[in-house]
Chain A
Amino acid sequence: MTATVAESTTPAVRRVPVTRGYRFELVKLLSQWRVRVLIIACWLAPAVFVAVISQQASLPVDTLFGRWMHSTGWAGPLVLLGFSGSWALPLLTSLIAGDVFASEDRLGTWRHLLVAVRSPRRIFVSKALASLSVIMLLVLGLVVSSMLSGVLVVGNRSLIGLDGHLLSPGDAAGRVLLAWLCALAPTLALAAIGLLGSVALGRSPMGLLLPAVVALAMQIVQQLPVPVAFRLALPGYAFISWNGLFTSPAQLGPLLIGVTVSLVWTVVATGLAYFLFVRRDFTNPVHDGSGRLAITAGLLPLVLLLGLTTAVVTPVTGFDSGITQDKVQRSAATAFAHLYRLQTKQLNRADVTEAQLQTSAECTKGGDQVAARGPGNDWRCVVSWHIPGVEAAGQAIYQLDINPLGRYVADGDGPKEVNGFFLVRTSAGDEPNPLWQFDGNVELLPSNPKG
């Protein structure tokens, strides 16, 4: 051997800023045709959807705010938010965050990347930030596209809230934006679950699908009569609790709990993904991330988190369904009062205030055969109100279908002069009768009766 060992003159390794790794991850993501298609779809499809619905006679009345899509441009973004919380956002997070680590396993590029960057930490941060950026770009597309289309095609008009009160166009715009902002929290939680699945399950298809599967499982649980504490402890509840922004006063309790829970899940799931990633041995030929330890270390802490969160929120929420006779009566009476004023205005009658109407409701469930609490389609309410100067009280009957989330559809059951017809005849022509059928919601948290 001609050479001998001597003191090193080799330059030390230079730290590469995270921004370079981030830029590289963005370039990789944006170069995939799948991601490009998603971006185009998110920026165009909502506009097309709102425009198409505005041109057709039938409305998506099964979806919250769907019945108002002809009346105001602010209903479209909310219909889309409802759909996105159930389907679009879980799928988008699956395709972006759920694949960002697994794609390196699939392409066999981990070693290449590590040799270039020399820091698993910086790789993790770059990938997490890049996937988050793309998800934000997609969500931004959904919001901007649906709002612009709604305002331009349908109009910047007042929106009828969930309790029937009227929101001015400006107020509606602010609340729509706030609702989408709140929905970012569960989106982040799903993205973090996606990162965790992508790290823990490697190239397994389950890694890619994890956010969608978790979101589907949460939706199924939300449709079951589980205690309200458990419902709010699920990271997807903020996809539902934004509804509370559209009541007066706003139901902020469930919203704040839902957003907080989602953010806690985001931090914990991201932390677990980071923990698993930096401990991975990239020279082990048999390791593809799907080891038993990875699954155990990824899954068990989240199950514990769910249990812990349920325990923490139980004192605030109680452990029942959250739907009581008193709350149903209050909600139905409030919504009816607001909508009655709307109908009064449509029919050019003398305006009355909610206070003058003194609306009240008597609600029963299952014809007094069962206790009047909990979800079900067997709620029946008799709403009473007073017109100033008229001695007799008016009465209207509604059948309520209340789902376990507290949302309900109230279907008018007479008298026909009040809620018997779908349309009312106004001086401007036939318009939808706001009292014929309306959406409402019951706040699941214990609340102040005057609230």
Chain B
Amino acid sequence: MDTPLAVRARGITKCFGEVVALDGIDLDVAPGQIHGLVGPNGAGKTTLLGLLLGLAVADSGTLEILGTTVGRALAVPQGVAGFVDGPGLYPSLTAKQNLAALAALRGDEPTMGIDDAIAQVGLTDVADDRVRGFSLGMRQRLGLAAALLTNPRLLVLDEPSNGLDPAGKKHVYGVLSKLTANGTAVMLSSHRMDDVESLCSEVTILATGRVAFSGPISKLASEDRPLDYRLLTSDPATARRLADAATDIRIVDDVAVQQGVETLVVSAPVPALDELVKQLVRADIAVRELAPVVSPLEAAFLALTEQQESY
């Protein structure tokens, strides 16, 4: 038997009065995949995540979640968990009490013990503390622990890395990776392009309620599209001369000095950049750093959303 898609949306439209929040959205999310959702503020990300959690129903279009067609609000099948606009936690209850209450409300025996869920997100030390004193990052981690209790098959997270310190981020990323390894689909929104790039295999970019792009992140970094790269070498003057002479490479004027060494910023497509690296090696120049100034996802995001908004 084929495994159903975790999410299959076709032509989803959702309006709030005169405002069109979602306009003909198509979306596929496969099991075992972390799917990123990015877009500028007001693009409709939270509305879309709300539909996936069953908080509302689309005005038109079809939405299937874990193989079940969702026709009305709060009718998403068992196995969907997550949060939008931050995890809902009660400050007067402790971390444990929050999770215990949630488990009781869900009506099923938690597949994972409360202590285990708390341990997974690294909050064991504060399990008996009231949530009132928790930082944003701790709340995010506790929200994730709440979702883990139900052994979700679709996990919906809105800005899960907000407020996380590096240790917290490591915990969260580890948990998400384990979940996807067990076949759980994760749909997360974020403004942090580096998070999306490092976590997600696929991404959907929303702009003004429409899909500007949906697919693997690798497809966004088109090899033919020039990107700005920062180039740090052992001989900046020669590197500059070689770059200037190369076809398809443009030297961007802002020159920075990094650790006492002049850094060159060039704009080039991937093939031209490959050729430049070969020439540098032949000229016996060491390449100490070569990295995009902005990530391919961020560049594509900016290009696509600006394009969409200009229509």
Closest chain B CB from A259 CB (angstroms): 36
CA distance A14 to B90 in the complex (A): 24
Interface string of A1-39 (1 = CB under 8 A from B): 111111111111111110011011001100111000000
Contact at A286–B1, with CB atoms within 8 Å? no
* Contact A115–B4 (Cβ < 8 Å): no
Binds A, one of B96-104, B110-118, B164-172, B279-287: B96-104
One of B48-56, B240-248, B266-274 contacting the partner: B48-56
Looking at the assembled complex, report how far the CB atom of A436 sits from the nearest CB atom of chain B, in whole angstroms. Answer: 54
Identify the 3 closest CB pairs spanning chains A and B, nearest first.
A112-B88, A8-B67, A109-B88
Binds B, one of A277-285, A339-347, A378-386, A405-413: A277-285
Within 8 A of A (CB), among B55-104: 55-56, 64, 66-68, 74-93, 97, 101-102, 104
CB pair A281 B56 closer than 8 Å: yes
The complex places the Cα of A27 from the Cα of B81 at a distance, in Å, of 23
B83 to chain A, nearest CB (A): 6
B140 close to A (CB within 8 Å): no
Q: Which of A94-102, A116-124, A201-209, A393-401 contacts B (4 or more CB under 8 A)?
A: A116-124
Chain B neighbourhood of A111, CB < 8 A: 50, 53, 55, 83-85, 88
B47 contacts chain A at the CB level, 8 A cutoff: yes
Residue of B nearest to A28 (CB): B90
Mask of A24-60 contacts with B, CB within 8 angstroms, 1/0: 1001100111000000000000000000000000000
Q: Which residue of A lies closest to B17 (CB)?
A: A284
**Of the candidates A7, A16, A113, A118, which one forms a contact with B54 in the assembled complex, judged by CB atoms under 8 Å apart?**
A118
Q: In the complex, which of the residues B30, B51, B97, B107 contacts A283, with contact meaning CB atoms closer than 8 Å?
A: B51
Partner of B85, one of A8, A27, A33, A108: A108
The residue in A13, A23, A119 that gathers the most chain B C-beta atoms within 10 A of its C-beta is A13
Q: Could you tell me if B77 and A17 are in contact, using CB atoms closer than 8 angstroms?
A: no
A421 close to chain B: CB less than 8 A: no
Beta-carbon contact of B1 and A6 below 8 Å: yes
**A368 to nearest B CB, angstroms?**
65
Contact assessment for B67 and A1 in the assembled complex, using a CB-CB cutoff below 8 Å: no
CA distance A28 to B131 in the complex (A): 13
Contact of A9 with B67 at beta-carbon distance under 8 Å, contacts A108-B88, A283-B47 already known: yes
Given contact pairs A5-B8, A32-B92, A120-B74, enumerate 12 new A-B contacts (beta carbons under 8 Å). Answer: A3-B2, A3-B30, A4-B2, A7-B1, A14-B78, A24-B101, A28-B93, A31-B97, A108-B88, A111-B85, A114-B74, A284-B16
Interface size classification for chain B: 35 or more
Among B67, B82, B88, B153, the residue within 8 A (CB) of A110 is B88
Distance between Cα atoms of A118 and B106 in the complex (Å)? 9
Give the interface of B toward A (CB within 8 A): 1-5, 8, 14, 16, 28, 30-31, 46-47, 50-51, 53-56, 64, 66-68, 74-93, 97, 101-102, 104-108, 153
Name 5 A/B residue pairs within 8 A (Cβ), A-sorted: A7-B1, A10-B78, A13-B77, A110-B88, A112-B87
Q: How many residues of A contact B (CB 8 A)?
A: 46
Bound-complex Cα distance A220 to B237 (A)? 88
Is A350 at the interface (CB under 8 A from chain B)? Answer: no
Partner of B50, one of A12, A20, A119, A283: A283
For residue B180, give the distance in angstroms from its CB to the closest CB of chain A.
Answer: 13
Of A8, A107, A119, A281, the residue contacting B77 (CB under 8 A) is A8
With CB as the reference atom, state the residue of chain B lying closest to A281.
B56
Among candidates B50, B56, B93, residue contacting A31 with C-beta atoms closer than 8 Å? B93
Contacts of A23 in B (CB 8 A): 104
Q: Is A109 in contact with B55, judged by CB distance below 8 angstroms?
A: no
How far is B6's CA from A337's CA once the two chains are assembled, in angstroms? 85
Cα distance, A108 to B106, chains bound together (Å): 19
CB contacts (< 8 Å) of A5 on chain B: these are 2, 4-5, 8, 64, 67
Contact for A115 among B3, B53, B97, B153, CB less than 8 A: B53
CA–CA, A361 to B65, complex, Å? 83
Contact (Cβ within 8 A) A109 B90: yes
